[in-house]
Amino acid sequence: MILDQNMENSTQINGLTPTKKKDNGDTKENLWSEILGEVQKQGTAKLPSNKSVLVIGDNSSGKTSLIAKLQGVEDPKKGSGLEYAYIDVRDEYRDDLTRLGVWILDGDPGHLNLLKFALNEKNYAHTLIILAISMTTPWSWQEQLEHWMKVLGDHLESLKLSPEERQEQKQRLVTLWQTYCETGHDDLDQSGSPMKRSNRLSSVDDDLDLMPLSDGCLTANYGLDLVVVITKTDYMVSLEKEFDYREEHFDFMQQWIRRFCLQFGASLFYTSVKEDKNCDLLYKYLTHRIYDLPFRTPALVVEKDAVLIPAGWDNQKKISILYENMHSCKPDDWYNDIIAQPPSRKTVSNRENEVQTEDEQSFLARQLQMLQQNQQGQGQQQTRSVSPMRTPQSAGKTSPRTPSSGGSPNKKIDPKITATGTPSGEGVLANFFNSLLHKKSGTTPGGPNSLTSTPILNRSNGTDGITPDRMSMRTDAAAELDRLSKSVKKDLDFAPPSEC
């Protein structure tokens, strides 16, 4: 007691009062006040409404279908230029609802000037980037990724951001990788609590012994949360059947894309909207990175078409496990030497070709022209069928014969006469008369000289050059023919009926 009294006196002399017990009480009181303040703050706080997602990638990479799947829309409508949509986000613990804005940039290079509306100085710190590439064209992955990361880097350089803000965002990304830890089974029930999330974030500040980044990690730090999404992984079956892809091809592709994501500090998701693979997990991961909502799924690397690698989990040692299945290629081989573009061939597009409608008047004018051409063709065909210009063969078969303009109207035509290679009707008739004259010369006293003196009639010169002797011979021949015809007729009239 004497010792305690002496100590109390000494403290009074030095101007000090004993406050040990009082300090302990104040510390406990301050701790409870701090806890109650945090609970009240977390209870009244709501999900921020200024967060957004920017989706970039080439055309036909599945950007619109992916966002429609995250929205729960079954019939997506594709736009052009810069599209805007939103995704409903709900915090089950707080029973709070907000909307996450989504910008979808067209893959056409002519629309890159619209990037400033989706990513600018105001929303730089509140934007997450999704870079979509398709499994249908794995040979173009390197070209697409390098192109879009260059576009993104050039755009960030053009933003008027302060050096302090840029450095703050870069350091935030480094800290995220250094403090990453997989969710354990013991904290699954409490991980959704705002207090639990607050304690987890505050523990980062207390941990001064942060692990250094692994080799090749964040060598290109943009200060943005980046998620690389491989779409249409259901096409892997077609790659195996049509292009003879094997397991080592897919392992080579995975190790290459994982090293690329490690370089930029990006997450990696293999998704398939058609088969609904990893789409729900992608939605939960986005809300986890943007709103710090719980995400309990660890990394998935077993299924080749459903890979999931969150930011901070991967490193070169884990990637090297894929090297064991690569026999015909090496990890350092040039990407397009292993995953080469197949020979060009006609590709079947899923989209139907756009039909261009024709002007109504143009269509009717073209139809009228076709009808007029058909009518003219039919008229010419009918004209040809009755045309008088026919071949000699058809004329000899169909047209009636008419006597020559220089012949006699009483002249008879031999029915055996044809139109090909035979003498004219006048020459045949002259031979007939000559034969009659030959028979007559054998019974008349003309002698053999009468045969040689009988001329052969030729109508080629008409009646020119006919002497009186020749005219008399013609008269005698005509008289003989008349006599013979009358005698034959008389015999037929008086013949008995039995002879007929």
Q: Tell me the pLDDT of the chain (500 aa) as tens digits.
A: 444 444 444 444 444 444 444 455 566 667 888 777 776 666 556 889 999 999 999 999 999 999 999 999 888 888 889 999 999 999 888 788 999 999 999 999 999 999 999 999 999 999 999 999 999 999 999 999 999 999 999 999 999 999 999 999 999 999 999 998 875 443 444 445 544 444 444 444 444 467 788 889 999 999 999 999 999 999 999 999 999 999 999 999 999 999 999 999 999 999 999 999 999 999 999 999 999 999 999 999 999 999 999 999 999 999 999 999 899 999 999 999 999 999 876 555 555 666 778 888 888 898 899 998 888 877 666 655 544 444 444 444 444 444 444 444 444 444 444 444 444 455 666 777 777 666 544 444 444 444 444 444 444 444 445 555 666 666 666 777 777 777 666 655 555 554 43
Co-location of 167 and 262 in the same domain: yes
C-alpha to C-alpha distance for 335 and 337, rounded to whole angstroms: 5
Q: Which residue's structure tokens are 């020459």?
A: 427
Say if CB 436 and CB 480 are below 8 A apart.
yes
322, 338, 354 — which closes off a domain? Answer: 338
**pLDDT score, position 95:** 82
Q: Which residue's structure tokens are 């053009």?
A: 158
| Helix and strand totals (H; E) in the chain | 17, 7
Judge whether 352 lies within some domain. Answer: no
DSSP state of 299: -
Tokens linked to 156: 């960030």
Co-location of 75 and 158 in the same domain: yes
Judge whether 363 lies within some domain. Answer: no
Tally of CB atoms within 10 A around 310: 21
Tokens linked to 473: 């011979």
C-alpha to C-alpha distance for 132 and 140, rounded to whole angstroms: 12
Judge whether 24 lies within some domain. Answer: no
Co-location of 316 and 427 in the same domain: no
Co-location of 328 and 469 in the same domain: no
C-alpha separations of 190 from 137, 271, 434 in Å: 43, 29, 140
Co-location of 139 and 275 in the same domain: yes
CATH of the domain at 116: 3.40.50.300
C-alpha to C-alpha distance for 395 and 419, rounded to whole angstroms: 9
Co-location of 243 and 334 in the same domain: yes
**pLDDT score, position 395:** 43
C-alpha to C-alpha distance for 294 and 183, rounded to whole angstroms: 9
**pLDDT score, position 374:** 87
Co-location of 329 and 426 in the same domain: no
**pLDDT score, position 416:** 46
**pLDDT score, position 22:** 46
Judge whether 31 lies within some domain. Answer: no
C-alpha to C-alpha distance for 277 and 282, rounded to whole angstroms: 9
Residue 139: half-sphere exposure toward Cβ, Cα within 13 Å: 12
Judge whether 439 lies within some domain. Answer: yes
Co-location of 464 and 319 in the same domain: no
C-alpha to C-alpha distance for 442 and 223, rounded to whole angstroms: 139
Burial 69-100 (b: 16+ CB within 10 A, else e): bbbeeeebeeeeebbebebebebeebeeebeb
297, 316, 338 — which closes off a domain? Answer: 338
C-alpha to C-alpha distance for 69 and 232, rounded to whole angstroms: 13
Phi, psi of 160 (to 5 degrees): -90, 75
Co-location of 96 and 229 in the same domain: yes
Judge whether 58 lies within some domain. Answer: yes
Strand extents, DSSP E, 146-216:
none
Judge whether 368 lies within some domain. Answer: no
DSSP state of 186: G
Burial 242-266 (b: 16+ CB within 10 A, else e): eeebeebbbbbbbbbbbebbbebbb
320, 338, 356 — which closes off a domain? Answer: 338
Burial of 123 (0-12, 13-18, 19+ CB in 10 A): middle
Find the domain containing 74 and state its range. 49-183+213-338
Q: What is the pTM of this model?
A: 0.61
Judge whether 137 lies within some domain. Answer: yes
Q: How many domains does the chain have?
A: 2
Say if CB 253 and CB 322 are below 8 A apart.
no
Tally of CB atoms within 10 A around 194: 17
Co-location of 157 and 233 in the same domain: yes
Co-location of 301 and 418 in the same domain: no
**pLDDT score, position 468:** 59
Co-location of 432 and 319 in the same domain: no
